[in-house]
């Protein structure tokens, strides 16, 4: 997943993404501007980018590389590099810098997005008869990001864009002035930092003062490690913020 240039339309950013392995040639340039050709493989593809594996010459985000498949060649920016100790180890996110030149046209026409179910049990604790109401099993984290929403309908629907307030493994809260009825089915593209991921979900509650609560039902094949990586990073940030408070509390109690 990768950041989207502002010039891309919402409809473009909601285009399908496919989890597929395609051999590609990638040219990288070193600090002396000398080219180095490598063979790599896609992990997934979208009209304006890809996740790839097996690319060793790239050292940092922001580098420009040339991606070739058959006779097609596109220049891309490295959006992110998976950390060695993360769920995205070995993966690199590429974003096309040629906005008027869609990538993978033939491949995307022939393939469909595949989704995996998200277990419903993640959303709430088991209910104990006679006990208190169920609590959420998965912790929620405040987050800065943008959600791109599209109603799933047989009729063409306009998309909308809104900030994400918080996220968990089983759902998210969106800040929006557009009320949607509970039970509305949505396709979501969540853009967080240099990552994006695609899910399908259902509106659970909606209020202009609270926001739009969405329960995830399915996640695009290949995106679960991205979600896990984001949640782990958010948990680490929250833990780092809490540690100084704990140290201060311990010091005061001495």
pLDDT in tens, 45-87: 998 899 999 999 898 999 999 999 988 899 999 999 999 888 9
216 and 132 together in one domain? yes
Q: Which of 89, 110, 131 is the last residue of a domain?
A: 110
162 and 232 together in one domain? yes
- Flag whether the pTM goes above 0.85: no
57 and 152 together in one domain? no
Give the rounded distance of the alpha carbon of 59 from its chain centre: 22
Q: How many degrees, rounded to 5, is the angle at CA 180 between CA 177 and CA 185? A: 135
Domain that holds residue 141: 115-242
64 and 130 together in one domain? no
Q: How confident is the model at residue 128 (pLDDT cuts 50, 70, 90)?
A: very low
Q: What is the pLDDT of residue 2?
A: 39
* Within-domain flag for 4: no
80 φ, ψ to 5°? -160, 160
């Amino acid at each position: 997943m990768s950041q989207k240039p502002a010039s891309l339309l919402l409809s473009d950013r909601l285009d399908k993404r496919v989890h597929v392995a395609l051999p590609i040639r990638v040219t990288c340039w070193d600090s002396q501007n000398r080219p180095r050709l490598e063979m790599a493989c896609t992990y997934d593809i979208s009209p304006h980018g890809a996740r790839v594996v097996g690319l060793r010459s790239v050292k940092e985000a922001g580098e420009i590389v040339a991606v070739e498949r058959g006779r097609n060649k596109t220049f891309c920016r490295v959006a992110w590099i998976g950390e060695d100790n993360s769920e995205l180890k070995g993966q690199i996110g590429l974003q096309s810098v040629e906005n008027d030149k869609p990538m993978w046209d033939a491949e995307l026409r022939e393939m469909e997005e595949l989704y995996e179910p998200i277990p419903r049990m993640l959303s709430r604790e088991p209910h104990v008869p006679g006990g208190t109401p169920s609590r959420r099993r998965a912790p929620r984290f405040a987050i800065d990001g943008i959600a791109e929403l599209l109603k799933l309908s047989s009729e063409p629907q306009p998309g909308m864009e809104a900030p994400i307030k918080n996220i968990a493994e089983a759902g998210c809260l969106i800040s929006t002035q557009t009320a949607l009825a509970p039970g509305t089915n949505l396709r979501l593209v969540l853009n967080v930092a240099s990552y994006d991921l695609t899910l399908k979900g259902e509106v659970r509650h909606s209020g202009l003062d609270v926001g739009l609560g969405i329960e995830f039902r399915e996640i695009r094949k290949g995106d679960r490690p991205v979600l896990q990586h984001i949640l782990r990073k958010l948990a680490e940030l929250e833990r780092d913020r809490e540690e100084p408070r704990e140290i201060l509390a311990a010091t005061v109690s001495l």
